[in-house]
Each structure stands twice: as C-alpha cells, then as structure tokens.
Structure 1
Amino acid sequence: MQLSQNEDHNFSLSKFESMLKTNDVLFFDSNEFEGIIFHYLETGKFALAKKAVKLGLEQHPDASVLKLFKVEILIFENKLTEADLLLNELHELEPSNDEIYIQKANIFSKQDNHEMAINTLETALEFTAEEAEIYSLMAMEYMFLEDYENAKLNFMRCLELENDDYAALYNIIYCFDFLEQRREAIDYLNLFLDKHPYSEVAWHQVGKQYFDLKEYDKALAAFDFAIISDDYFVGAYMEKGKVLEKMGRLKEAIENYHITLELDDPTAFAYLRIGKCYEKLKKSKLALDFYSKAVDEDPLLDKAWIAITDFYSRKLNYPKALYYINKAISIDSENVLYWKRFAKINNRLNYVEEAEKGYQKAIELGNYELETWITRCDLLINLGEFETALDTMYQAIEFYPETAEIEYRLAGLYFCLNQGDRGYYHLKNALKIDAEYSIIIEELFPEIFKRNSVKTLIDKHA
C-alpha cells in the first residue's frame, strides 16, 4: 500500500529521530532531508534542524537546497561571512536560483545595509515564481529605512498577487496610519472592496479609519458590513461596541461586547468596556462586578486596575481606592500610572510620607510632569526635608527652565536653609517670570513671607 504524502513525511521524521536515539546511520534521500529540516525550522526545533542539515550534507554533499538550509542556519547564528561564502559558491553553480538572492538580501539586512538588500531582492524578482514573497520582503526593508511610501507600494504589489494575504493588508494600513493618510487609506480599502466585497478584514479596517476620524456613523456601517461578511468576527463586534459607546448607545454597546464573550474566550478588555458602560449608566454594582472580572481574567491589564481605583476615588472612598492600587502595585511595581495614583490617594488621605514615596517612584520610572516634581517638593517641605526638596527642584529645572513655580520654591527653600543671598536671587528670578505666583511663598513659607524685605520685594513687582 502506498503511503500518503503526510504519512510519508511522518514516517521520515520518526525514522530520523529513531536514528538519533540509536546512533545508527540510516539513509534518507535529499527530499526527505528537506522535509525534515523544514519541519524542525517551522516548529522552532533549531538544534534538530542543524543536526539534520549536517547529516543531510554528509549523505548528499552536492544538494543545493540542503546548502541553502545551511546558509539559513548560519545567518540565524549570525555567522554572516561563512554564509556569504557558501552563497557565492552556490551562485556560481545556480545563478538563476532566486533563494540565493533572498538569502543574500537577508545578510545585507542583518548588516543594516537595507539599500543593498532591496537591490538584491529586485534581482531575485527576475528569477522567482513567488513574486508576492519578494515584494513583501522588499516592503519590510523599506520599513527598516522608514520609507513608508515605498513600503506601502510594495505591500500593495504583494496583495495584488495574493488577495488573501491579510498580513500585507494590515501592513498597508500600518503605513497609511504612520503617514497619517486616513482618507487615502479609506479610498484604497474601498477599491479593494470593489473587487472583494465580502472581505471582513477590509471592512473592519475601514471602520477603524472612520473611528479614528470620529465619523462614527460611517464606522458603525463598516463594522456592520464586516459582521455580515463573517458573523463570527469577534474583532468587528468589539469595535462596533466601542463605536456605540462613543455614540452614547451604551446598552447596544454592552450587547456587542457580550457577543464577543459568547463567540470566543472571555477577554479582560471586553469585561472592562462593559464595566465602563455600566458606570456611565450609573449602575455601580454591575460596573464593579465587571471591573473585578477584568482583573481576574488578566491581572496585568493596568486599565482594569485603574478603572477600579478611579471608580472609588470618584466616590471619595480613598481607603478602598488605596486598597486596589496597592494590589495593582503588588502585581506590577514598575507601572508609573499606578504610582501616580498611589501618591495622589495617599496625599488625599494625608499620608504625607507615603505620598512622597509615590511621587519619588513615579519620577524614577520616568514621569517628568511638572506637577509630579512640584507636588513631591511640597510634600518634602511639609516633612521638613528641605535639602531633598532642593535637589528635587534642581532636577525639575533641567526639564522646566525659567519656570516660576520652581523658582519660588527654590527661593523659599534657600531662605529656610539660611542662605539668604540665594533666596533673594531666586525670588527675583521668580518675580520677573510671573509676579502673580508669589502666593506660593505665602502658602508654602508663611514665616518667610512675613519678612519685611521679602514683602517689599514682592510688592515692588506687584
């Protein structure tokens, strides 16, 4: 009985792996080795692929396909010189083999020589029967060069040849988005839909473009067409829910989010959006139920933790808000959005030291908003830590030079540290920038404000 192609392939794999276990040397024809190597590369079993290439070339030293697999492995291992030498040998034997040019281009790309990679791929086009693949590779090289116009054109050529290549379609839209060409993207998608009217992916992308343009009626129509084309298309229901939410049609939005939960595994994002809708509908209990489901489904979804925290903050229930933001931080202690809320909530509760710690952590994680620096400074002043407050303002002034709020604080801090000359210097700077902000001295440094010399200087500028 003759084996089917799939059974034959499985037999070759089993035979090869059995050989490795027993150390017996069995014979395989070159086609068998090609199938074995391809399987291992596709499944990420790199060491086995490498072993199969070695054994394959020992049995078939002249097999060019096996040599090309060796080139692929050498490139993966970053042994580019060795790979290039082997490609040169192959080129002399098979100058019209498109795969040789593809791998040459891969080497150029690895060396950041993307122009040469493109030139080499253009040569490959002369010999290939797989033009779509070459255009896709050229487009990626243009992406590396940040030449999104040419990248877009090559992805378009790829899609013309392979209409079901949705990766190319997504990449085309990515280029349009990067170039901020939303109208042009819609025009292109409409031309595509003229030829492929039931392409749910194209309708979905049209809807997203209209959504970003805030043309919600058109976005809604596009998502409806996507659903007509494929009524199991979860992404279309999700996007339709977002549009309905923006239009204030919250109950319909909830219905569409629920459909996504029925069609596929539940997602934290769907639970979060349903919770948001219920909160807008003033149904607090249901909102909290769905926020809780969101964090249970995906504890790393920061928007869900923030939604619960902000919910309680808006209700002025700061102890509960603090409880949830602490839980969030225990899961992801490097999230700057968590630390900002941690700081603000502690400040509301008058837990000054904890609030200061939160703002310090936010700054360490890269939150350089002026408000963050200033609030931390004010908390340090409250704690009597004038030197640390001074350091904080000097860090802030690197990002916000000539800023009155900073200069007034520097003035007050120097006065507190009995460095009057520097205090007057910064006070004069502050008054020149904005005299109206002199209230900062009165509020933060009331004893300093009472000094006649300080009052005189402020009155003079007022």
Structure 2
Amino acid sequence: MEEEFEFDFNKDAQNSVERYEEMIRNQDQYFFDAQAFEYIIDNYIEKNDPVKALQVVEFALNQHPYAAVFLIKQAQLLLFTNQVDKAFAALEKAEMLEASEADIYVLRGNIYHNLERNAEALENFEKALGLAETTDEILLQMAYVYQNMHDYENAIVYIKRSLEQNMENKDGLYELAFCYDILDKQEESIQFYQEYIDNDPYSYAAWYNLANSFHKMDLFEKAIDAYDYAILIKENFASAYYNKGNALVQLDKYAEAIEVYKQTFEYEPPNADTYCAIGECYEKLERMDEARSYYKKSVKMDSKMADAWFGIGVTLNFEERFFESLHFYKKALELDEENPDFWFAIADAYYKLGQIEQSVEAYYKVLEYNPLDIEAWLDFSTVLYEQGKLVEASETIAEAIKNNPEAAELYYRMVAYLFALGQTQEAISYLETALTTDPEKHYILFEYLPQLQDNRLILEVINKYIK
C-alpha cells in the first residue's frame, strides 16, 4: 500500500522525519515529495548519521529517479564515508540529468582537491563559476587549490574576488592574511585591510588582521589601536585580547598586558598559553611568586608546556635556588631538547652551583644550537677564563667572532684575553677592529679588566678613534 504524504514545510517539518521512521518500522512504502525527502536527509546529516542519510537517498531516488538533487546529496554522503569512486559515479549520473547544476562541479572540484588533482579541481570550479548564482564560496575554494599548489599570488587574486562579492566572509579575510604572511608582504596586507575597512568599518575580522600585520612589522602601538577596534566591535573576541597582550609585552607594558590577558578568561576558558604568558609578565615585573603560580597553572593544564616549566626554573633561579631551578630547566629540556635558551639557563645554573664541567658541556650545547648568541659566547669564555684556561677562552672568542663578525663586544673581550696572555701586538690589532666596529662600546674593555685603564698604549689607541 502506498500512502501519499504532501510536505508542508512551515506546518510541521519534523513530521516528515517521524512519518519516514514510521514507514521503516512498518516496512511499508509511503510517498514523500522531493522537498520532504531533502528535509529528512538533512535531518540525518545534522545528526551525523551518514548511513541513515544514504538509506533515505535510496528511497528518494526510487520515488524521484530524475531529481539530480538526490544524486548530488548521495555523492556528498559517499564522499563523507570515503567511497570516492561511487561519489564520482553519482555525479556522472547527476550531470547527465541536469548538466547546468553548479553543485555537481563544486562537489567534483572538492573531490579532486582532496585527491590533490589540482588542475581538474580548478577546471570543475571554473565550470561551476559559470553556472552558480553566488560564486564567493567557489572563488574561495579555488583559492584553497592555489594554496595547495603553493601559488599564493593566485590564491590572493581569488580570495580578493571572493571578498568583493561577500564582504562578510571572515574565512576569506583570514586566508588572505595567511597568504600575505607566507609571501611576507605585510605592507600590501596593511594596504588591503585599510581599504577594506574604508568600505566596511565594522568588520572586526578586518581590524584584527590589520592589527596582526602591524604586529608582524613591529608597529606595536598601531597594532594595539587596531586590536582595540576589533574588540570594540566584537567584545568577546578572545584572540584579539590575547594578541593585544602580546603587543603590550613587546612594548614592555607588562602590567597592562596581564590585565588584557586576564580579560580573555571572560570570553573563553583559560588555557595553558595564556597562563604561561601571564607568568612571563609577572616574571618581567620580578613578582616571582605570582609568576610561579601562573606557570604552575599552565603546566597543570598542559604538562607539555616547555616554556612554563622553564619559567618555574627562572623564578627559582632569581631566588638563588639554583639546585631546584635545574630540575625545572631539565623538565623543559625533555620537551624541547634543542632549545638554546634552556641550555643557556642550565649552563648558568651549573656554573653557580660550582659544577664547572657540566656547565661547560651545557655551553657547548647552547652554541651548537645558536652560534649567534653573543651573551652565551661571552659567558662561556668567562667560565674558561676563570678556570685559568686563557688559551681556550681566547679560542672560544675567536670562534664567536667567526660566527658574529659584526659584534664589537667580542673584539673588546678578545683584547682583554690577549693582554692577559701577553700578546700585546695582536691585542692592539683587535682593539683597532673593535673601535672601528663600535667606538662607543670601548668601556666594556675596562669593565672586564679594570687594570687596562692605566695602560698607556691602549689609551693612545682609544683616543685616536674617540676623537
């Protein structure tokens, strides 16, 4: 028996689902019009039940064999359940029935995109462009394909075309920021977002991306202003508060940054990154108990937060609890074993504990991972010098200069070591290089070896450059 059920969407849409489920229970055949079937299918898709949705499609195609819409839905569901070949076959049939249906080509383009068959994906999206009423999403899909091909210039072209049609598309604005970032074209990015804001001054996403571009160019005041506009438009915009906090940190405004970071908790649950960032601010303000408390909150939330473990160590080091600090530095190192900052802190802690051999080993690690760290070279050479290893200290600085030929500090330090070794001529030669590189820093020499202030030869050379 076939019972007819006419679908009245406004009257009771849910009724169609109940009628369908009743039909299945009774192992019966009811008739549904196409609109009712669409609603039933979408109902199961929303409930994340693609198997039941596919069953409904089968019924729909039995009753409406010439409706391409059900073949397209079938292809979507087959794709969702990883039946790619069957999805292609369903789209073939749909195309035979209704070749002017844009969704066929959009879906096929998406499948090709997933298979990284980029040329075929673009070809299908291009077809869809000619058929669809609204094309902003299709243009964005094409941009994703170009991103896949690492052709970010073309991706930008398509994202902009998409945004021209739909100013509200937040995804487009974020993708554009991503492409400009990859190409390191922050100036172009800033120009685009400023023009965009002229047309749509209430776009919080545009203000946010503009702020991020300013941030990347180290224009922190401008970034903060733009974050403020984003927050003004969208009060619960947690990411804007967080990034504003980061910008304030760059300006050494730690107390303000703490307040802004804490505001994120009003709009999203606290997370380990924000706790760690607050900890760092308290650390910079030398409020070590509060810093440690936030670092601990961070690792409690995420035990893999290396920076927070390290931060706990830094607070203990500040209190001269060197042995305890080592424990936390090592926890950080377990999570990020090539981090030169962690090795530097460990080298320093061992040195302060009088464990010179371990300190030296750690310094070697620092400089292996970051040979551009001038402070580390200087500190390492000091450790060697204090152990009476004058030759090794001078050799270490020679290696440092090789890696950092512009660093005047290294040349001044070399002068001190060469004088200590009695190699006066060579010392003078290095002193001249140091003075040529940066005459203002000559005081470093006397800080390190105060007795050189009475050395007539050195004073003559310095006066020649200072005048």
Query: Which ranges of structure 1 fall in alignment gaps of 5 or more residues?
Result: 363-367, 372-403, 405-462
Which residue among 208, 218, 225 is the counterpart of 1:221?
Answer: 225
Partner of 2:428: none
State the TM-score, normalizing by the size of structure 2: 0.67
Tell me the percent identity.
30
Contact map agreement 1:261 1:270 (CA 8 A) in 2 = no
Moved more, 116-125 or 189-198: 116-125
Give the distance between the partners of 2:338 and 2:245, measured in 1 at CA. 26
Q: Does 1:148 align with 2:165?
A: no
Q: 1:318 to 1:3 in 2, by over 3 A?
A: farther
**1:44-443 correspondence to structure 2 within 5 Å:** 44-313=48-317, 315=319, 317-324=321-328, 336=337, 348=350, 369=369
CA-CA distance at 1:259 after TM superposition: 1.8
Instruction: Give SS of 1:164's match.
Output: coil
2-structure distance, mates of 1:52, 1:300:
46
- What is the identity, as a one-letter code, of the residue corresponding to 1:121? F
* Corresponding letter in the other structure for 1:234: A
**Aligned-partner Cα distance in 2 for 1:27–1:328:** 66
- In the alignment, is the contact (CA less than 8 A) between 1:322 and 1:342 conserved in 2? no
Is this contact kept in 2: 1:328–1:338, CA < 8 A? no
Structure 1, residues 297-350: CA drift from partner, whole Å, max 9, x if none? 333433323322343356553543355467779xxx765469995998599486
Q: 1:95 to 1:351 in 2, by over 3 A?
A: farther
| Deviation, structure 1 residue 131 | 0.8
Assess if the C-alpha contact under 8 Å between 2:291 and 2:315 holds in 1: no
The one-letter amino acid paired with 1:188 is F
Conservation of the 8 A alpha-carbon contact between 1:101 and 1:121: yes
Paired residue secondary structure (2:65):
coil
Cα distance in 1 for residues equivalent to 2:37 and 2:208: 42
Instruction: Verify the 8 A CA contact 1:295 1:304 in the aligned structure 2.
Output: yes
Cα distance change, pair 5–340 in 1 and its aligned pair in 2 (3 A): farther
| Mapped contact 1:272–1:304 kept (Cα < 8 A) | yes
Change (3 A) 1:249 1:127: same
Query: How far apart are 1:200 and its partner, in Å?
Result: 1.7
Letter matched to residue 119 of structure 1: E
Q: TM-score, normalised by structure 1?
A: 0.68
Q: Structure 2 counterpart of 1:175, which letter?
A: C
Aligned counterpart, 2:14: 10
Kept after mapping to 2: 8 A contact 1:101/1:120: yes
CA contact (8 A) 1:136 1:168 kept: yes
Give the Cα–Cα distance (whole angstroms) in 2 for the partners of residues 224 and 79 of structure 1. 48
Deviations 1:75-99 (A, max 9, x none): 3444444333332332232121111
Root-mean-square deviation (Å): 3.7
Q: Deviations over 1:59-110 (max 9, x none)?
A: 3333211111112233344444433333233223212111121223233324
Q: What does the per-residue CA deviation read over 1:175-225, in whole Å, with 9 as the maximum and x for residues that have no partner?
A: 111111000000000000001112222111111111111111211221222
Residues 110/267 of structure 1: CA separation in 2 closer, same or farther (3 Å cut): closer
Q: What is the CA distance between 1:56 and its match in structure 2?
A: 2.5
Q: Does the C-alpha gap of structure 1 residues 125 and 307 become closer, same or farther in structure 2, counting only changes over 3 Å?
A: same
Q: 3-state SS of the aligned residue for 2:215?
A: helix
**Separation (CA, whole Å) in 2 of partners of 1:290 and 1:271:** 5
Q: Does 1:31 align with 2:13?
A: no
Letter in 1 for 2:210: V
Question: Tell me, what secondary structure is at the counterpart of 1:303?
Answer: helix
Equivalent residues of 2:340, 2:369 under 8 A apart: no
Seen in structure 2, the aligned counterparts of structure 1 residues 308 and 21 have a Cα distance that, compared at 3 Å, is farther
Q: CA–CA distance in 1 between the matches of 2:40 and 2:306? A: 44
Q: Secondary structure at the match of 1:265?
A: coil
Deviates more, 1:138-147 or 1:77-86: 77-86
Inter-CA distance 60–246: structure 2 relative to 1 (3 Å threshold) = same
Amino acid at match of 1:214: D
On the 8 A contact 2:54/2:74 being kept in 1, the answer is yes
| AA aligned opposite 2:68 | S
Q: Distance in 2 between matches of 1:322 and 1:23?
A: 72
CA distance in 2, matches of 1:75, 1:261: 39
Shift of the 179–290 alpha-carbon distance from structure 1 to 2, 3 Å rule, reads: same
Cα pair distance change 1:334/1:274, threshold 3 Å: closer
- Alpha carbons of 1:137 and 1:7: their partners in 2 closer, same or farther (altered >3 Å)? farther
**Larger deviation: 144-153 or 298-307?**
298-307
1:7/1:145 CA distance change after superposition, 3 Å: farther
Map of 2:427 onto structure 1: none
User: How many angstroms apart in 2 are the aligned matches of 1:126 and 1:341?
Assistant: 57
Change (3 A) 1:60 1:35: same
- Please say which of residues 68-77 and 344-353 is displaced more in the overlay: 344-353
Answer with 119-128 or 309-318: which moved more.
309-318
